[in-house]
């Protein structure tokens, strides 16, 4: 999703950016397309994938923020535990 934040990309561009095998990436894109998360536009032999609804980018950003906050809290708890501190 993050790779599509700035616009459409072809499968080849996504393969190059992710390092995934094309078959694997195509399966992921098919699921995302079926769920209405990405849209595909065909032009000649190329298929261009893009975010179907820009709100999905905001949702991913929010989820990322929450996960980073949780990670930070877990790291702080681990540091306290290693020092023998109580909450």
Give the model confidence (pLDDT) of 17-49 as tens digits.
999 999 999 999 999 999 999 999 999 999 999
Domain boundaries, the chain: 1-52, 54-87
For residues 36-58, one letter each, b for 16 or more C-beta atoms within 10 angstroms of the residue's C-beta and e for the rest, the string is ebbeeeeeeeebbbebbeeebee
Q: What is the mean pLDDT of the chain?
A: 94
- Which pLDDT band holds residue 84 (cuts at 50, 70, 90)? confident
Architecture of domain 1-52: Orthogonal Bundle (1.10)
Q: Is the separation of the CB atoms in 39 and 50 below 8 Å?
A: yes
The CA distance from 56 to 22, in Å, is 24
The proportion of the chain whose per-residue pLDDT surpasses 70, expressed as a percent, equals 98
Q: Is the separation of the CB atoms in 38 and 51 below 8 Å?
A: yes
């Amino acid at each position: 999703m993050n790779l599509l934040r700035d616009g459409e990309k072809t499968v080849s561009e996504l393969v190059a950016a992710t390092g995934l095998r094309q078959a694997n990436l195509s399966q992921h894109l098919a699921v995302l397309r079926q769920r209405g998360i990405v849209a595909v536009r065909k032009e000649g032999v190329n298929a261009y994938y893009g975010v179907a609804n820009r709100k999905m980018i905001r949702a991913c950003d929010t989820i990322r923020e929450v996960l980073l906050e949780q990670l930070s809290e877990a790291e702080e708890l681990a540091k306290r535990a290693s020092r023998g501190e109580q909450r």
